[in-house]
């Protein structure tokens, strides 16, 4: 089978220039080019574009596009670490559970090295550290919530596969005591475990919890979340760390159901997972809601915004 030939970064930059010059913008061409390139390829295109035309590709997209389509295209075209730094910075200016989600996603739903890159990008963009800004954010009034978020965004987890079964056994007891016996989901022991252990270690601990107590820890937290915001926050962290497809399927669904569409959350979820685990997100979505991401996006969005989202979602 012949391989598919992808144009060079210079060719893509030239074709993007053609799409944004003259009378009107060729939005379909922008989707076709940028929507089918990897993060590394998009970075090369941005460098080539600026070298050829002495202007930033992101600046040009901002001036040419509008609305939710512009937001999606700019988030997608941006460097992933810079994108997440910007999302975190914006999240700290808005109140509500959905904006706390953003910080947890940035801290927990990607690799330890990516979080380090986000912290670096944040310092470069805002001349401040992400950790210090979370600690100083006046919107996080509960000291336990603030401490938890600071620990998450400042963590650097072991990225290997090694698991300590005895440690898992011991930490199951600590989790159960804090979450169930004491009704303190963000007790110090919980914060220490969830903010420091590797993802394979946490998966082993949570599986051990299910075996020992007959119920998964996220199910326990789900029962508490309506009356306890901290339980809801911990559940989000547990999902982002061990099965992010569950969290992002929920974000997409909650963005679509009800009155109106939460385009900001919908865009963030699709853009941020398109290159990571979108296949798993789609499978989880279909299993849980008996609908496809594609069908729900189609029913709630339109135009070029719909076009870029469906391109990033890919075939079901």
Known binding residues for Ca(2+) are 22, 24, 64, 256, 260, 300-301
What's the CA gap between 315 and 283, in Å, rounded?
A: 12
> Which tokens sit at 224?
């508490």
3-state secondary structure the chain: CCCCCCCCHHHHHHHHHHHHCCCCCCHHHHHHHHCCCCHHHHHHHHHHHHHHHCCCHHHHHHHHCCHHHHHHHHHHHCCHHHHHHHHHHHHCCCCCHHHHHHHHHHHHCCCHHHHHHHHHHHHHHHCCCHHHHHHHCCCCCCHHHHHHHHHHHCCCCCCCCCCCHHHHHHHHHHHHHHHHHCCCCCCHHHHHHHHHCCHHHHHHHHHHHHHHHCCCHHHHHHHHCCCCHHHHHHHHHHHHHHCHHHHHHHHHHHHHCCCCCCHHHHHHHHHHHCCCCHHHHHHHHHHHHCCCHHHHHHHHCCHHHHHHHHHHHCCC
Binding site as annotated, residues? 22, 24, 64, 256, 260, 300-301
Q: How far is CA 312 from the centre of its chain?
A: 14
For residues 115 and 156, is the Cβ–Cβ distance under 8 A?
Answer: yes
């Amino acid at each position: 089978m012949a391989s598919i030939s992808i144009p060079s970064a210079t060719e893509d930059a030239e074709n993007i220039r053609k799409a944004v010059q003259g009378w009107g913008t060729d939005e379909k061409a922008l989707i076709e080019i940028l929507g089918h390139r990897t993060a590394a390829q998009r970075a090369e295109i941005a460098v080539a574009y600026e070298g050829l035309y002495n202007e930033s590709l992101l600046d040009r997209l901002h001036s040419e596009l509008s609305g939710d389509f512009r937001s999606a295209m700019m988030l997608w075209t941006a460097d992933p670490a810079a994108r997440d730094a910007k999302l975190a910075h914006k999240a700290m200016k808005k109140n509500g559970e959905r904006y706390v989600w953003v910080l947890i996603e940035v801290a927990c739903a990607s690799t330890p090295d990516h979080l380090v890159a986000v912290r670096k990008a944040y310092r470069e963009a805002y001349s401040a550290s992400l950790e210090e800004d979370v600690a100083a954010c006046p919107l996080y009034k509960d000291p336990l919530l603030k401490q938890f978020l600071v620990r998450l965004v400042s963590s650097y987890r072991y990225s290997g596969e090694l698991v300590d079964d005895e440690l898992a056994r011991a930490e199951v007891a600590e989790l159960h005591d804090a979450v169930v016996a004491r009704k303190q989901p963000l007790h110090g022991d919980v914060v220490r475990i969830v903010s420091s252990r590797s993802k394979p270690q946490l998966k082993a601990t949570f599986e051990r919890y299910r075996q020992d107590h007959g119920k998964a820890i996220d199910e326990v937290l789900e029962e508490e979340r309506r009356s306890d915001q901290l339980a809801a926050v911990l559940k989000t962290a547990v999902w982002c760390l061990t099965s992010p497809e569950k969290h992002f399927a929920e974000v997409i669904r909650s963005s679509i159901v009800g009155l109106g569409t939460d385009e900001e959350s919908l865009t963030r979820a699709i853009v941020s997972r398109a290159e990571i685990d979108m296949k798993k997100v789609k499978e989880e979505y279909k299993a849980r809601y008996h609908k496809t991401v594609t069908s729900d996006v189609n029913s709630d969005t339109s135009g070029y915004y719909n076009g870029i989202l469906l391109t990033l979602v890919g075939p079901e």
